[in-house]
Amino acid sequence: MKEEAQSDLFKPSPGQDGALKQDGVMVRETACRTLLNRWGDRDYSFNCYTGCANGCGYCYARFMQRFHPHDEPWGAFVDVKTNAVEVLTRQARRLAPGSVFACSACDGWQAVELRHELTRRCCQLLLDAGFSLDVLTKSELVLRDLDIFQGRPVGLGVTITTPDEAQARIWEPGASPVSGRWRILKEAGKAGLKTRVMFGPLLPGISDTPEALLELFTQAAAAGVSRIWTDMLNPRPRVWDSARAVLRQHRPDLLEHWRRILFEPVVRSEYEAGLRARVNSAAAKAGVAYLLS
Ligand code: SF4
Give the mutation target among 25, 54, 171 for probing the ligand 1 site: most ligand atoms within 8 A of CB.
54
Q: How many angstroms separate the CA atoms of 164 and 49, rounded?
A: 28
Nearest ligand 1 atom to alpha carbon 74: 5
* Spatial separation of the C-alpha atoms in residues 156 and 122, rounded to whole Å: 16
Position in ligand 1 atom list of the atom nearest CA 106: 3
Query: What per-residue confidence (pLDDT) applies to 24?
Result: 87
Alpha-carbon distance 80 to 93, whole Å?
A: 23
CA of 58 to the centre of ligand 1 (A): 8
CA of 105 to the centre of ligand 1 (A): 7
Q: What is the pLDDT at residue 139?
A: 98
Longest dimension (CA), the chain: 55
Of all atoms in ligand 1, which is nearest to the CA of residue 172? Answer: 6
Residues whose beta carbon lies within 6 Å of some atom of ligand 1: 52, 54-56, 59, 61, 106-107, 138, 172
pLDDT given for residue 191 in this prediction: 97
For ligand 1, pick from 107, 113, 160, 169 the residue to mutate: most ligand atoms within 8 Å of CB.
107
Residue 159: alpha-carbon gap to chain centroid: 6
Q: Is 75 left (phi over 0), alpha (psi -120 to 50) or beta?
A: left
pLDDT by residue for the chain (293 residues), tens only, comes to: 333 333 333 333 444 456 787 788 999 999 999 999 998 878 999 999 999 999 999 999 887 777 888 999 999 999 999 999 999 999 999 999 999 999 999 999 999 999 999 999 999 999 999 999 999 999 999 999 999 999 999 999 999 999 999 999 999 999 999 999 999 999 999 999 999 999 999 999 999 999 999 999 999 999 999 999 999 998 887 899 999 999 999 999 999 999 999 999 999 999 999 999 999 999 999 999 999 99
The distance of Cα 71 from the centroid of its chain, to the nearest Å, equals 23
Grouping H, G, I as helix, E, B as strand and the rest as coil, residue 39 is: coil
- Strands of the sheet with 25-30, listed across from one edge: 13-14, 20-22, 25-30, 77-81, 49-50
d(CA 33, CA 27): 19
Determine the pLDDT at residue 174: 96
The atom of ligand 1 lying closest to the CA of 75 is 5
- What are the structural domains of the chain? 3-291 (3.80.30.10)
